[in-house]
Amino acid sequence: MQRPLAGLTGRNVVTELTAGVTLLAIAIPLNIGYAQIAGLPATAGLYALIVPTVLYALVVSSRQLVASPDAAAAALVASSVGGLAVAGSADYATLALAQAVLSGGLFVLLAVFKLGFLANFLSKPILVGFVGGLALDIMVSQIAKMLGVKIDSGAEFVDKLVALVTGLPTLNVWSVLISAVSVAVLLLGRAYLRAVPWALIVLIATTATVVLTGLDARGVAVLGEVPAGPPALTWPMIDWTTWLALVPSAIALTLVTTAEGLLVSRSYSEKHRYPFRANRDLLAFGVANIAAGAQGSFAVGSSTSRTAAMDQAGSRTQLPSLVLAVGTLLLLLFGTALLEDIPSPAIGAIVGVAIIPLLGIRDFIDLWRKDRFEFLIGAACFLVTLLIGSIPGIVVAFVLALINLAKRAANPAIDVLEASGDPGESLLEDAPSGSTTAPGVIVVRLAAPLFFANGSVFTSAVKEAIRAAGEGTVHHLVVDMEAVTDVDVTGAESFEALKHWLDDQNISLSFSRVRPNTLRRLSELQLLHREPVYATNRAAIADLISPAVTPVTEER
């Protein structure tokens, strides 16, 4: 088992501690903003940085991935829990805790049963569309906050957009000014001095401005009182029907975090050459989320931006996460009074700038250039998530993933291979179509498993190839099975029908380069005789297939 804080040495401890201070400066303002997006008090975002962060850092195999509530998780919480309780109420907070516990349990199950591959169904277009829809919904709320316009953050996207537009006459000039300066500082700082914690600087500067000038009395909204003290152990007490109602959203949270978290974790492990253990990372997410639900926080995901910031700061261990936990605890014990006058427009600016990359504008442009069908998948997922909701969005995402998979699987590469006349030349090399030297023999290669989506396509291609060779020309068909790794029942039935058609045409059948597992599968599906019978033109067939593999030949 990997020891905690793998990679930490005496040489890099100072770098790791410094990176921890940077992470603290980044995470505090972002988590306050994400808690507000989720419809929870600021403490819910801060609590996530203590116990869940410590447990995650001690369990995870990744040396760099930072776990924390993020924009996508916060939006999912707001859209799913918001339909069951009123944001800001005690019931709402309890449901958010229960959702985190459920998500944690699902992570543990994924780790135990090694089911992390399920997240592979969330391809890049689906993730871009899903997260982009959530991000745009968040952006409307943050723009309203920056302008000082009051809207219902728990409403549907269209309702929020209408409320924002109709509320523009009520905007607060001072809020707009604070937001404009904050956005300018954040964007310029990101462009020229990325290592500086600009979000923290913006919070400190704007808070000091509000306190010194009394802008809160002029309509600028502030964070308000933040309860002091460490997180307390708790447990969501709800009935079983409510637990069931939270399952779909917990599944969505789990899958999105799994897909993004494992991808980021793997990329950094490959970049810096340290071990990557997917199931260990899933277990760490599970432990962190259960801890979040048991001490007053909400769902914990992976933070791509904070992980990238730690990588740029030179961090190669989980020590910065422990520094973050200690610093947040000290803030809650002794410094909550410093948070009360943080202006909401500044929080909106920080969160708004942070989620700009999540809108996926560049990704959509890239998809449009590379593959229009995948672009449409991403766009459909984006629109459903934005206009209907996050749970329908994740359902549509899986449906689109299956459609995309079926579309590609239903059109596999099927090569009709013909010989050039030289007995020593392998027919398995791509040869120009139209030349047949082994009299009456044709070889077809299927470059995919044979299953329900492509069975009829394959049989049609074989018949077409035989007809194209001319009536009565082909007497033997060789199916190259090297790329066929599996055969399902529907595919077998299509193949059985092909065999009957071949019998009617007086064409014998052989298989070449059959994998052992596929050979057993063919036998189980009764596509082979118990004792293989070799064709009378065996020598001719042997010239057409790999000499290292004996053909499994069948004649009727």
**In 223-270, where do the E strands start and end?**
none
Looking at residues 21-38, what average pLDDT do you find? 88
Structure-block tokens of residue 507: 């064409």
Looking at residues 71-82, what average pLDDT do you find? 85
Angle at 514 between CA 509 and CA 516, to 5 degrees: 135
Neighbours of 133 (CB within 10 A): 30
pLDDT at residue 320 greater than cutoff 70 = yes
Alpha-carbon distance 225 to 400, whole Å? 45
Report percent pLDDT > 70 for the chain: 89
pLDDT at site 538: 43
Looking at residues 216-245, what average pLDDT do you find? 91
- CB within 8 A of 104, min separation 6: which ones? 285, 286, 287, 288, 289, 290, 291, 292, 293
In tens, the pLDDT along 104-159 reads 999 999 999 988 777 666 778 888 888 888 889 889 988 999 999 988 776 788 99
pLDDT at residue 432 greater than cutoff 50 = no
pLDDT at site 164: 93
Alpha-carbon distance 237 to 228, whole Å? 24
pLDDT at residue 468 greater than cutoff 50 = yes
Structure-block tokens of residue 323: 């520094």
Model confidence at 287, pLDDT cuts 50, 70, 90, reads very high
Angle at 3 between CA 24 and CA 27, to 5 degrees: 10
Provide the CA 269 distance to its chain's centre, in angstroms: 17
pLDDT at site 358: 81
Structure-block tokens of residue 372: 């229009």
Q: Identify the residue whose tokens are 């509320």.
A: 167
pLDDT at site 25: 83
Q: Greater confidence, 451 or 534?
A: 451
Alpha-carbon distance 507 to 443, whole Å? 12
Q: Tell me which amino acid residue 326 is.
A: V
In tens, the pLDDT along 162-174 reads 999 999 999 999 9
Q: Tell me which amino acid residue 183 is.
A: V
Helix H segments across 90-172? 90-112, 124-147, 157-166
Q: Is the dihedral of CA 86, 89, 93, 95 positive or negative?
A: negative
pLDDT at residue 281 greater than cutoff 70 = yes
Alpha-carbon distance 80 to 74, whole Å? 10
Cβ 110 vs Cβ 258: under 8 Å: yes
Structure-block tokens of residue 201: 């600087």
In tens, the pLDDT along 491-520 reads 899 889 999 999 888 998 888 888 888 888
Model confidence at 418, pLDDT cuts 50, 70, 90, reads low
For the ranges 55-59, 420-424, 446-450, which has the lowest average pLDDT? 420-424
Model confidence at 424, pLDDT cuts 50, 70, 90, reads very low
Q: Which DSSP state fits 487?
A: B
pLDDT at site 435: 37
Looking at residues 365-392, what average pLDDT do you find? 88
Looking at residues 385-401, what average pLDDT do you find? 80
- CB within 8 A of 527, min separation 6: which ones? 487, 492, 495, 496, 499
3-class DSSP state of 56: helix
pLDDT at site 433: 41
pLDDT at site 182: 94
pLDDT at residue 529 greater than cutoff 60 = no
Q: Tell me which amino acid residue 303 is.
A: S
Compute and round to an integer the Cα radius of gyration of the chain: 30
Report percent pLDDT > 90 for the chain: 34
pLDDT at site 412: 84
3-class DSSP state of 416: strand
Instruction: Give the chain's mean pLDDT.
Output: 84
